[in-house]
Amino acid sequence: MRVTDITKRDQVVEHIQRNGKQLQRLQGELATGKKINKTSDDPIGATIIQDTVTTISRNQQIAQNTDSNIAWLELIEIELNHVADLLENAKVLALSQAGDATTTESRAIVAQELRSIRTALFDAANARSGKLYLFSGTETFTQPLRFNDPIQEAKIESTSVPQRDVAERIDLDLFKAQFEEHSSNEYRIRITRTGTFGRALYQVSDDLGETWSKEQILLPVIKVVNPDGKPDDQVILRFTSKDGVHSEVASDQNAGFFDFADSGKIFQEGLEFSYLPNPQIAYDGNSQKKEVLIANNTTVPISITAENLFLKNGEEGINVFGLLSSLGHALESDNGKGIADRIAQLDVARNQVLKQVATVGNTIRELEKAKSKLDDQVYTKQKRLSEVQDVDLAESMVELNSAELNNKSSLDAGGRLLQPTLLQFLR
């Protein structure tokens, strides 16, 4: 082919361009330390980088979350161990009073100590981390345990009189019927013989009217105890005048009457006073468990509720506060068998707490395992990221050297090709 000035120039320019591009690419890579500076440098690599960055970012967030969850659970663990210790103390105290070599005084002192243990348990159950309560389920702004008001207005019904007439028959302007003290039972008191105080008879049921106690005489202040039921339950039904005046005497005998005779107050047969369960300690949280992410779409529950710890009833577990208060009653009333029974139950209660300690411990271990897995993944992903996007410095430098050499020699050759003309040799 003919060679012309334009073809010569084009060729030189083309090679300058080509070498320039190569140098520019290498310079860019070495300056940023990255192989991929634009998506088009390596589209697939670029998306791998994006996914890797996302995974790292997500894992770091979950790891950070997990750290704070571990801290949260460790606080719970501390409180639970404290609770277990308190129950152990209670048991030791109770054991010291179980034998015959104890006195009423020492039992009273121990009963006093038990009360402070109860307070300590109450405080432990209401422990907080920052503004959040540890043991209220997901109602974290709500104090989980609360002392109930011991006074409860009696709900008055009648089986013989139509409901709307009840209020008329019993002049509520004249007196109040209110229950005092705590119980988790639901009591009903039924008038079985019409009459005034001292004349009327009543029965008690603690099972929604299935079974009834024997008849007793109705007085302005009565101890509501179903003999077949729990002997330690102490609920009192007290009738007072509207403005709260009532007899001074709390005994069940001959409480000083105040005069209902003026109104001809007669308690009708069939009248019922009901007491809704009003345990001393109530749970205001919920039973919802907070689930937290420990990996993509894998969650574990991290909540322990005060209800599960302390306030289980019947077959579900032990009501620890109920147990302690009945232990107190047993001590105060020198009930040796009662004390022995409670000691056995204290062990169950302590196990109930220890089981939760074990659960929390397991969860912490699980979280720690998840955390270290997350950290490992972050490390691996960072390595992968570096492989995909980082420049191999040694390789690039070698490449740069050879590209430089190429460029120089092609410029040199270009210069030599373009310079000489025939004119230099004429004449």
Partner 1 sequence: MPSLNSSLNIGARSLFNQQSGIATAGHNIANLNTEGFSRQEVHAKSELAQPDGTGGGVRRGMPQRIFDRFTSRKIVQEESNSAALGAREKFLAKLEIIFNESDDAGLRRSLNEFWDSWSLLANEPESDAAREKLKNQSEALSSRFRSMHMELRGIRSEANSRVAGVVSEINNIVDQIADLNRQISSYELVDRTANDARDRRQLLLEKLSQKVDVSWLEDSRGQMKVSVGSTGWSLVEGRKGRELRASLVGGETGMYHIQGIGEHEYKVDLSNEFRSGELKEVLDIRDKTIVSYMQQLDDLAFGLAHKLNKIHASGTGLSSGMERIKSSYGLNQDAQLEPLPFIKDGIFQFHLLDDDEEFYATYEIEIQAGKDNIYDIVNRINETVNDPLYFQASIEEDGSAVFLSGGGKQFIFGDDQTDFNVVMGFNNFFETLNGAEDIRVNNRLLEDPKNISSGKDLVPGDNQIALEIAKLQTRPTMNDETQTFDEFYNGILADVGLRIQRNQVEKEHQDTMLAQFKDIRDSVSSVNMDEEVANLVQYQKAYEASAKFVSTVDGMMETVIQM
Query: Could you say whether residue 61 binds partner 1 (CB under 8 A)?
Result: yes
| Residues 65-84 interacting with partner 1 (rule: CB under 8 A) | 65, 68-69
Rg of the Cα trace of the chain? Answer: 42
Place of tokens 């690039």: 396
Query: Could you say whether residue 419 binds partner 1 (CB under 8 A)?
Result: no
3-state secondary structure of 159: coil
Least distance between partner 1 and beta carbon 347 (Å): 32
| Position among 244, 253, 296, 419 found at the interface with partner 1 (CB under 8 A) | 296
How far is the C-alpha of 261 from the C-alpha of 195, rounded, in Å?
11
Choice between 23 and 120, CB closer to partner 1: 23
| Residues 356-385 interacting with partner 1 (rule: CB under 8 A) | none
How far is the C-alpha of 224 from the C-alpha of 203, rounded, in Å?
9
CA torsion 345→119→70→297, rounded to 10°?
Answer: 70
Q: Which 8-state DSSP code applies to residue 285? A: S
| Residues 111-140 interacting with partner 1 (rule: CB under 8 A) | 131-132, 136-140
| Residues 138-157 interacting with partner 1 (rule: CB under 8 A) | 138-141
Number of residues interacting with partner 1: please give it, by CB under 8 A: 56
Query: Could you say whether residue 422 binds partner 1 (CB under 8 A)?
Result: yes
How far is the C-alpha of 206 from the C-alpha of 336, rounded, in Å?
25
| Position among 64, 106, 380, 401 found at the interface with partner 1 (CB under 8 A) | 64
Question: Which of 298, 401, 349 is closest to 66 using CA atoms?
Answer: 298
Query: Could you say whether residue 22 binds partner 1 (CB under 8 A)?
Result: no
How far is the C-alpha of 354 from the C-alpha of 360, rounded, in Å?
10
| Position among 169, 230, 290, 329 found at the interface with partner 1 (CB under 8 A) | 290
Stretch of 40-48, 160-168, 334-342, 353-361 contacting partner 1, by CB under 8 A: 40-48
Q: For the chain, how are helix, strand and coil distributed in percent, rounded to 5?
A: 50, 15, 30
The residues that bridge with 236 in the sheet, in sequence order, are 180, 223
CA torsion 171→175→181→182, rounded to 10°?
Answer: 20
Stretch of 43-51, 99-107, 148-156, 211-219 contacting partner 1, by CB under 8 A: 43-51
| Position among 99, 168, 253, 297 found at the interface with partner 1 (CB under 8 A) | 297
Element housing 60 (H / E): helix 43-96
How far is the C-alpha of 50 from the C-alpha of 381, rounded, in Å?
11
Per-residue CA distances from 144 to 46, 125, 135, 206 (Å): 51, 7, 6, 27
Least distance between partner 1 and beta carbon 137 (Å): 7
Stretch of 169-177, 180-188, 282-290, 376-384 contacting partner 1, by CB under 8 A: 282-290
| Position among 26, 36, 93, 374 found at the interface with partner 1 (CB under 8 A) | 36
Least distance between partner 1 and beta carbon 282 (Å): 15
- What residues make contact with partner 1 under the rule CB under 8 A? 1-7, 10, 14, 34, 36-44, 46-47, 49-51, 53-54, 57-58, 60-62, 64-65, 68-69, 131-132, 136-141, 286, 288, 290-293, 296-297, 299, 421-423, 426
